[in-house]
Structure 1
Amino acid sequence: MNSSRDLSWPLSVCVAAGRIVVGLLRLFKWRVVMLLLLAAVTGAFLGAGGWPGSEAVVVLLLAGGLAAAGASVVNEYLEFDMDRIMQRTRRRPLVTGAIVRSPWVLALGVALIVLPVLAVLPRNPALALWVILGAIVYVGVYTVWLKSRTPLNVVVGGLAGSCAVLSGGAAVHAWAHPAVSGLALLLFLWSPTHFWSLALACRGDYARANVPMLPVVTSPRRAAQWNLLHAAGSVIIGLLLAVRPELGLWYLAPVAIAGLYLLAHGLRLVEQSSARRAWQMFHAANLYLGVVLLAICLTTYFHV
């Protein structure tokens, strides 16, 4: 009997620790963080014209990843009441109580933003600038100011993704590189397509929470038309990036195919603006961006 108790105690500790880890990963919105880091690393590949160097990548991943996680924590802390209303967000750890919503959570989020910025500031002020600007756009401009006030919320909020790309360029001292700027523009145009597709699929959720997403304040068909317009802009920028000598045909081929796939789903969504097709558009937009970012990293790394 004593041996079974001895075994159950460490097992319960492991289970509790696992729940805390899962709760923290959800609090940090790890999927969003990974996407932003991929965009940032891609910006570094573009700025360097190939492998950016181990030191630049590690610094970028640490500074950008911690700041993005911190911004997510602050976002969830501030949107607690909204998250309790929406079906899509009711399983977030602050809502379920898996992590207690205390001032320490807010302090953790702020610290995760500020400390890495201060750490990189002396050696790379441009990197620190773009990292902190990305957090300010997401938390201050998008979450606090625009999200509950205007359907332009995700349009302006898309600048956070652009800041991630520019931080990658800054990590290799090339944030003003034309290709880096082009990718930042692509992220800016792509973000509304991503969020409006989600908002179309979860239109009732956003309406209940009084969030004026474009699909809530206008007809689904009109929202789908704007969605398609931004998708087309993203595809055009993605194709134009192929003129860079470090990219070329091996980049262009998969990106063109992914772009056609995205536009096809955009047209289908305009034709029938249902939740099912909105989800399909959402996944197509994610696939398109993933193809663009991976194609850039691979072609610049191998110089094919």
Structure 2
Amino acid sequence: MQLEQSYASEPVVEVASRPELWRTIVVLFKLRVVSLLLLSAFGGAVLGYLATGQSSLWAWLVLTVSGTLSAAGASGINQYLERERDTQMRRTAKRPLAANEINNPLTVLWISMGMILLATLLALTVNVETAVFILLGAIIYVGVYTIWLKPRTTLNIVIGGAAGSCAVVSGGAAMGGWSETAVWLLAALVFVWTPVHFWALALAYRDDYSRAAFPMLPACTAPHTAARWIALHTLFTVAAGIGLGLVPQVDWFYLLPITLLSLLLIKRTWQLLAVPEKQPALSLFHYSNIYLAVVLLVIMLAPVWR
């Protein structure tokens, strides 16, 4: 009886189930965003390969692992640094660090920094340029965007979009083609696409960003003004997307689906201009994801039809 009582008095340690653990990892390291960045790197790699003819299984493997580690590590640091402000936003209040699901947040910081370091060292086994652009992407996202620009200026995401461009160029570098025109055109596409994507989200949740004191452009201007800025960057995005079809590595086959997708992107943007409210903004946000993903997938299929 005494033995039973002593066992009953022991504190119960709750162990997260596998689905809960996986959900924490996905959200903490923003793996959905990472997957799109990885596609961007693959798109750059294909364009680099088509320009140089260089490719190896090792380069592809390293690009996949190091790109994932670096992007996930940068996302982990971002959530560590913004954990207090995340509690002020309905959209982010349930993130693991904001919701106090992790007992020692500093552990996340150290693990994330280690991931970026490991990614950089691994990328060096391919070439210096790949390592430079993988590390530069993390530095821009954490240092330039998260720490410097995001809390201070409405231009934060405009410049912060360079982090995504670095993913593209790292892919090109892995195939020996980081300086190729096609690679930089795709990097430019990601750069001008980023404000369309994130400003649409910020317009949908402008009150959230205001509460957290983040000066995102849609939270600091009238909705109609923000919609016009989004429309301007939509035109830049479409121009870059169509322009990619004019380089020798891609050619006309790419233009068929991308022209149609570009028209649909313009349509969604026009709907937001007409009604600059949450639902049209979210519609554009989700469609912009589809747009970039399809552009990248079509580019990745280029070696098949060439």
Short-chain TM bin: over 0.9
Per the TM alignment, residue 156 of structure 1 is displaced from its structure 2 partner at its CA by 0.5
Q: Which residue matches 2:108?
A: 105
Are residues 1:24 and 2:25 paired?
yes
Partners of 1:16 and 1:271 in 2: how far apart? 46
Q: Which amino acid aligns with 1:36?
A: L
Alignment of 1:238-249 (within 5 A): 238-249=241-252
**One-letter identity of the residue aligned with 1:105:** V
What is the CA distance between 1:122 and its match in structure 2? 5.1
Residue type of the partner of 1:183?
L
Gaps of 5+ in 2: 1-12
Which letter does structure 1 place at the counterpart of 2:290?
L
Q: 2:167 and 2:55 mapped to 1: Cα distance?
A: 15
Report deviation, 1:118.
1.9
Residues 1:51 and 1:203: Cα distance change in structure 2 (over 3 Å): farther
User: Gaps (5+ residues) in structure 1?
Assistant: 1-11
2: CA distance, partners of 1:266 / 1:283: 12
Distance 2:122 2:249 in 1: 32
- Answer whether contact 1:45 1:51 (CA < 8 A) is retained: no
Structure 1 outlier segments of 4+, above 3 Å: 12-15, 50-53
Residue equivalent to 1:275: 278
Equivalence for 1:35: 36
- One-letter code of the match for 1:71? A
From the superposition, tell whether residues 258 and 267 of structure 1 become closer, same or farther in structure 2 (CA, over 3 Å): same
Return the alpha-carbon distance in structure 2 between the equivalents of residues 51 and 33 of structure 1: 25
Q: Determine the structure 1 residue equivalent to 2:47.
A: 46
Identity between Structure 1 and Structure 2 (%): 45
* Corresponding residue number in structure 2 for 1:229: 232
Distance 1:94 1:13, change over 3 A: closer
Distance 1:14 1:84 in 2: 24
**Separation (CA, whole Å) in 1 of partners of 2:63 and 2:270:** 37
**TM-score w.r.t. length of structure 1:** 0.92
Report the AA paired with residue 144 of structure 2.
V
- Give 1:70 shift: 0.5
Amino acid at match of 1:82: R
Cross-structure match for 2:303: 301
1:136 is matched with 139
Which structure dedicates a bigger proportion of its chain to helix?
1
- Could you tell me which amino acid in structure 2 is paired with residue 135 of structure 1? A
Partner Cα separation in structure 1 for residue 122 and residue 227 of structure 2: 43
How many residue pairs match? The answer is 292
- C-alpha offsets along residues 205-252 of structure 1, whole Å, 9 cap, x if unaligned? 101111111111111111101101101111111111111233222210
Q: Which moved more, 1:265-274 or 1:171-180?
A: 265-274
Q: TM-score, normalised by structure 2?
A: 0.91
| 1-structure distance, mates of 2:284, 2:182 | 26
- Tell me which residue corresponds to 2:294: 291
Mapped to 2, the partners of 1:40 and 1:14 lie a distance apart of: 36
AA in 2 matched with 1:87: R
Q: Which moved more, 1:160-169 or 1:99-108?
A: 99-108
Whether the 8 Å CA contact 1:39–1:165 is kept in 2: the answer is yes
